[in-house]
Amino acid sequence: MSASVGESVPGDLGAPTFHALFREYFGQMTRLAHLLGADDAENVAQEAFVKLHQRWDTLTDHTRVAGYLRTTVVNMSRSRTRHLRVVRRTPQERPADELSAEVTAVANWEHQRIRAVLGKLSRRQREVLVLRYWLDLSTAGIAETLGISPGTVKATTHHAMENLRKHLGDDLGGER
């Protein structure tokens, strides 16, 4: 016959009740967890008592309960502090701000419009603009990539921008 949690085990007249153990050791286990660095020391102590409660009917030596609780609190505190180190080291991702449907529609329309105009430019003008404004290459980098002189890059960029303005209007901005 097993004893309920609040009672002593029959035949073990000196065994404390679970409630008495909780009252006696809860404060100690909470302080232990706190001193070991657990961020939620009371929860660690409570979980240790839950684990003890789950094993209550199988305990044969109630004099070792305090040691069992201490071991459980130490192991759980280690686990919590290890988890906290990982969480604090991992950058928290912020969800990207959602764009409104209108903003997305206008951006898609503008991108399609720019791609259509880029398609009307000569191959070299299109290459120079893409290398300059998409890859952010310098004049020297563009010249090296295309195998042309830096002066040709500058002239081609100027002519390409003029063609873009002509097809898109002056809303592109920039110098003329």
How far is 90 from 68, CA to CA, in rounded Å?
Answer: 33
Inform me whether the pLDDT recorded for 96 exceeds 80: no
Cα-Cα end-to-end distance for the chain: 96
* Residue 140 pLDDT grade (very low, low, confident, very high; cuts 50, 70, 90): very high
Inform me whether the pLDDT recorded for 145 exceeds 70: yes
Q: What is the pTM of this model?
A: 0.45
69 in Cβ contact with 48 (< 8 Å): yes
For the beta carbon of residue 76, count every other beta carbon within 10 angstroms. 20
